[in-house]
Each structure stands twice: as structure tokens, then as C-alpha cells.
Amino acid sequence: MHIDIDSGLLKEARKVPSPNFDERPENININLLVIHAISLPAGEFGGPWIDQLFCNRLTADDHESFRDICTLQVSAHILIRRTGEMVQYVPFHQRAWHAGESSFQGSECCNDFSIGIELEGCDDQAFEEIQYQQLAGLTREIMKHYPTITQERIAGHSDIAPDRKTDPGPLFDWERYYHLLEYKEA
């Protein structure tokens, strides 16, 4: 994988630019990776709805469960679909709106200093092996360009917003992910 550090874009990702981002605060150190999970509608995969949510094109008419979320202005840097496809919404050097009210090791407003990766999934279904492979490869590439992101500075959304969020959920296999982070193909 290859991140162009000037553009902040992952070469291998399909680009779907989101309007839901802004500049990070000056002199901010990008030093946290946040792993999320999303499915729209809940428990369904493969549709156009995540792209539409992150691009402010989701409507209440699309599905009854979208009524409460269709006006949200949210995004992530990358989505890893269940097929392994990667979709980039926000360049890495920009601030995506993925964490909401959040805190990590005493620092508030995690959007300021984090990169957000969404996995297409939910709390009650296991993730696909290809998603772990892609996530580990992407994480290694991110760590190469943002060396203050270490394994100790990788968190789930539930870790930074425990009163609000449960993702990536109990079926996310952290041990598998960490093992893959250490493994590098020759």
C-alpha cells in the first residue's frame, strides 16, 4: 500500500470525497488511530448507504432506520468493506468527523489528532479475514508516515467514547489484528 503524504490519499482506495472535514488545529501531532464499525441499515452490508451518509446524501426516504441519522454530518478517513475494498473519504492530513465527543489518555476531541478507519460490520457479526488483512496493511502504512501512532495508540471507538459507542464491537479480534500488524510478507 502507498499513501501519498502530500495529498494524504491512499493510492489503492476508491475516492469518494466527503464534505465533512476541516483543517486540523495548527501544530497538531497525528498520533492516534481509531477503529470503527458501521453497517447501513444495521446488519446489512454492501449497499451505497455508507457513501451516502458520509457525503450528506442519505435521506429518511431511503430506509426507515435512516430517519435519525440522515441529517448527521460525519465522515471517516477510510472505510474497509467486507470485500476488502477500501474507500477514502477524507485525506489523512485533514480532520475527519468520526469520533464525536471523545477522549484518549486525557486528551479531548480525538478528531483533532486521530485517523478514523471504519470497518463495514456490526457488533453481532464477525469481520472478514480480508478486512483484517487490509486493516493491518493500511495500519503499517499509516504508522510509517505517522510514527507517533504505535500499537499503544490504536483504539476502538468504544475506547474513546465508552458511554456512547460499542464499535468495533465484541467480535472484533484484536489479537488477530495485532498479530497481522507484526507479520510482514516478504
The confidence score (pLDDT) of residue 37 equals 98
In the predicted model, what is the mean pLDDT of residues 112-118?
A: 98
> Which domains, from first to last, does the chain contain?
3-181 (3.40.80.10)
Catalytic positions, written as ranges: 118
Closest CA to 75 of 13, 9, 17, 155: 17
In the predicted model, what is the mean pLDDT of residues 41-65?
A: 96
Grid cell for residue 96: 475527519
Grid cell for residue 176: 488477530
What's the pLDDT band for 115 if we cut at 50, 70, 90? very high
What's the pLDDT band for 184 if we cut at 50, 70, 90? low
Summarize pLDDT for 120-171 with one digit per residue, the tens. Answer: 999 999 999 999 999 999 999 999 999 999 999 999 999 999 999 999 999 9
Strands 86-88 and 78-80 turn out to be: antiparallel
The confidence score (pLDDT) of residue 47 equals 95
The confidence score (pLDDT) of residue 186 equals 38
Share of residues in the chain with pLDDT > 70 (%): 98
Query: Is the per-residue pLDDT at 183 higher than 80?
Result: no
